[in-house]
Amino acid sequence: MLFGLPGFRVLDVRCIDERGTRWVLVETIEPAAGCPACGVISDRVHERPLMRVKDLPVGGGPVQLWWRKRRYRCGEPACPRQSFTETSAAVPARSRLTGRLRHRLATAVARSNRAVADVAAEYGVAWWTVHRALVAAAAALLPAPSPTPRIGVDETRARSVRWLLADAGWRRSDPWMTSIVDLDPSGGGTILGLAPGRSGACIEGWLAMQDPAFREAVEVVAIDPSAPYAAGLRRALPGARIVVDHWHLVRLANAVVTEVRQRVAREQLGRRGRRLDPAWAHRRLLLRAGDTLSPAALARLRQVLALDDPSGEIGAAWGVKELLRQLLATSGPRYSRHLVAHQLHRFLDACALAAMPETDRLAATVETWWPEIEGFLELGVTNARTEGFNRVIKQVKRVGCGFRNQDNYQRRIMLHVAVSRAA
Ligand SMILES: [Zn+2]
């Protein structure tokens, strides 16, 4: 009872060293078993081989567990199988590990982001044993994604580029991954899957592996303005509406402000910005949302532009960025065709007046992606959750404990998410 391994009784216990290692001998309680070939129950024990099984520590010390197995002789004369060995649910077939140890190994890694080797050392098993436990747990814990009307697709950098020695020579390993997330507000916002790469083919391939019911259910897909994703999605989900959400567009607009600031510094000073230059010192202030700035912050911004923006170009880029934000703020319940047309006009007008290569490019992006941006404004779909999962992915990545292939890496992220949701 104290040992608590279901279906087993303890025959003998000894303490075998000063570390408190307990040598435990067990056997199954059931005195008979069914032949796996013919099903006839036999209680004629033929042999009692001893098998070493790895198990959890007990009472603060390691355990050396031995199972005195029963090898039965089959009682059915016509049966081709003359003998068979008993099995137990607590020790999975062909395993040298108890199920409870396997479970502990998988959750120890998945729940805490600990390195596989670290967990392996604590439980006195090989790293591949922990890895296999993790893979098995992932398969059991991660069901096929259930159909949802809204999904988000986003790219994330998994790790730096690596060169692997494969069959015929060196192969470049793709450090990018694509995450697919449930964006339905009534759903849990779960991560549905990960696909290696960030091409149209990779999202197409992932969708092809899902149930037809899953593909048919998708009505809206939120993406960043990425032409390969859009092309792959149009092929895989011809009936779904693709939308581009504001988060990525604001990021592009901020990048424009930064590029213009850097170019102006180069042109005015003939060098890169430094700590003493007001525009460099207040570079974050330039990127903050204009409508959230306090009167003092606004005054500081005006001062920075007066001092460090003689050509007015940084100010123009800032205005373009703010007008794009105002356009994107007319989404969801605040959407009206008239208001959106008005704000789009103001934004494009400001880009035309600014007449800089950076703002021209932003205007071109918004025009190219206008149907998808308008879709976002109309439906108010946001990819914010996808970004949240990217943080989880990066957190798992930071631990970076030798994932030899991307498959393992993905499994670990998926499992991490599944375990943290279950907890
Ligand atoms: Zn038999």
What is the Cα gyration radius of the chain? 31
Read off the tokens for 300. 């500081």
What pLDDT score was predicted for residue 178? 83
d(CA 191, CA 1): 41
Judge if 334 and 373 occupy the same domain: yes
Q: Residue 63: name the closest of 109, 115, 119, 3 by CA.
A: 3
What pLDDT score was predicted for residue 388? 54
Q: The domain spanning residue 219 has which CATH number?
A: 3.30.420
Domain boundary among 139, 161, 194: 139
In 79-180, which residue ranges form alpha helices assigned H by DSSP? 99-112, 116-123, 127-141
In a domain, 90, yes or no: yes
In a domain, 1, yes or no: no
50 alpha carbon – ligand 1 mean position (Å) = 23
Judge if 325 and 400 occupy the same domain: no
**In the predicted structure, residue 403 carries a pLDDT above the cut 50:** no
49 alpha carbon – ligand 1 mean position (Å) = 20
8 alpha carbon – ligand 1 mean position (Å) = 24
In a domain, 145, yes or no: no
Greater pLDDT, 189 or 233:
233
7 alpha carbon – ligand 1 mean position (Å) = 23
Judge if 362 and 389 occupy the same domain: no
List the shell of residues around ion ligand 1, using CB closer than 5 Å: 35, 37-38, 74, 76, 79, 81
Judge if 57 and 128 occupy the same domain: yes
Q: Report how many domains make up the chain.
A: 3
Q: Residue 198: name the closest of 152, 160, 234, 157 by CA.
A: 157
Q: Cβ(376)–Cβ(243) under 8 Å?
A: yes
**In the predicted structure, residue 52 carries a pLDDT above the cut 90:** yes
Judge if 250 and 176 occupy the same domain: no
User: Average pLDDT of 199-224?
Assistant: 90
In a domain, 324, yes or no: yes
User: Average pLDDT of 341-359?
Assistant: 93
**Exposed/middle/buried for 106, CB within 10 Å: 0-12, 13-18, 19+?**
buried
**In the predicted structure, residue 310 carries a pLDDT above the cut 80:** yes
Lowest pLDDT segment from 166-175, 231-240, 285-294: 166-175
Judge if 241 and 259 occupy the same domain: no
What's the mean per-residue pLDDT of the chain?
83
Judge if 236 and 115 occupy the same domain: no
Judge if 373 and 270 occupy the same domain: yes
Judge if 218 and 174 occupy the same domain: yes
**In the predicted structure, residue 398 carries a pLDDT above the cut 50:** no
Using N-to-C axis directions, what is the helix angle for 370-379 and 357-368, rounded to 10°? Answer: 70
Judge if 191 and 312 occupy the same domain: no
What pLDDT score was predicted for residue 201? 87
Judge if 258 and 362 occupy the same domain: yes
User: Average pLDDT of 173-190?
Assistant: 73
**In the predicted structure, residue 188 carries a pLDDT above the cut 60:** no
Q: What is the pLDDT of residues 109-162, one digit of tens each?
A: 777 667 778 888 888 888 888 877 877 776 666 667 888 999 988 887 665 555
In a domain, 31, yes or no: yes
Quote the domain boundaries for residue 225.
150-245+383-422
Q: Which helix (H) or strand (E) covers residue 166, if one does?
A: strand 162-166
